Amino acid sequence: MSWLSNAFSTSCIAALCATPAAAGGIRICIDPGHGGSDNGASGFGFLEKEMNLDIALRLRDLLVADTADTFGGGEWEVLMTRTTDATVSLQQRVALANSWPAERFVSIHCNAFSDPAANGTETYSFQEGTTSAALRNEIHSEMIAAWGLTDRGTKTANFYVLVNTSMPATLSEVGFITSPIDIQLISDPDARQEIALAHLFGIQRHYGLAPYEPGFSGPPTQYCVPKVTSGGCVPVITHLGNPTLTGLDDFHVTAHTVMANQFGIFIWAFGPNNQPFFGGTLCVDVPLVRTPVQNSGGSGCLGTFNYFFSQQVMADTFLAPGTVIYGQYWFRDPGFAAPNNVGLTGGLAFRIDP
């Protein structure tokens, strides 16, 4: 990785690491744990310091992109305690954040243990009942939703960077670098992007903002895998038209290749999710809209559901241009016994245009 050869100078940390945002941006200090002569933990040929830095740089880029994207999200200024494979003491990290000064401090780490059976995600603040704990809880919830690893909970600890920062601070242990389960995600660049996005969503929620992925553009896209039902049907969700707040056409969404004569609903939300749901995966967050129940009709795998994500719906739910919507269709599958008796299409993500 290119950052491994870069040198470090205490006097130029702020100049190198500060990323200005629009005036009034909330100041976030991102702290990639370890670095330089301190490798942190290791496992399966991976060094914690490298994984921490990669996730942190991805989070920095998301915060910068969020600031530049005027359709949603927030405005941020970002300070990194390191952007290279540099040795930065705990005291230096805290001094940087305090002197800037940051408004929030987010430290990113990977966990480790001698027993490879130890696995999961946990997130720390110094004390309960604080602003730090509130930020910790949001970040933790988003990380669990993103990776779905064992939930080890939110915790308190007297880690130096949590005790000595003058602003609310959290420390994320995204997973165990020594776990054969967790390393599959820690070592995957796409998964590291997901966990960086989870941190962005957590920070956004903490500030009362709807989760917003900056730079989302282009036509509606599929973002999760459908569940094959007992009849061998693979439910599909498709679309026709454009989701716009003005114009003549409504946005027409169809779930098809559905088992015949089943009852189900479309679920729409402001955010994606990834959680077990009656034998499948529910790929939407807390619902924004649930449609009325429909019957699929048809025969075999030719059942169909239709819904118009209409301009009226968009107006009634106060959707603004740039809002990203995530949707999925689920229905009952009579070939399975509870709790696995549902069918699920893949998810559909789209942005509301002006």
- The residues, any chain, with a CB within 8 Å of residue 125's CB and separated by 6 or more, are 132, 133, 135, 136, 154, 156, 162, 168, 169, 170, 171
CB 143 within 8 A of CB 214: no
Cα–Cα distances in Å, from 5 out to 90, 107, 108? 22, 23, 21
Indicate if 213 belongs to the active site.
Answer: no
CB 40 within 8 A of CB 48: yes
CB 70 within 8 A of CB 320: no
* Catalytic-role residue among 50, 138, 142, 173: 173
- The residues, any chain, with a CB within 8 Å of residue 19's CB and separated by 6 or more, are 60, 63, 64, 77, 78, 79, 80
| Phi-psi category of residue 323: left, alpha or beta, with phi > 0 → left and psi -120 to 50 → alpha | beta
Residue keyed to tokens 């903490």: 206
- Give start and end residues of each alpha helix (H) in the chain: 13-17, 48-68, 90-99, 131-147, 160-164, 183-186, 189-206, 311-316
The DSSP string of 150-171 is -EEEEEE---HHHHH-SS-EEE
- Residue 89, H or E segment: none
CB 243 within 8 A of CB 301: no
Query: What distance lies between CA 13 and its chain's CA centroid?
Result: 28
Residues designated as active site: 173
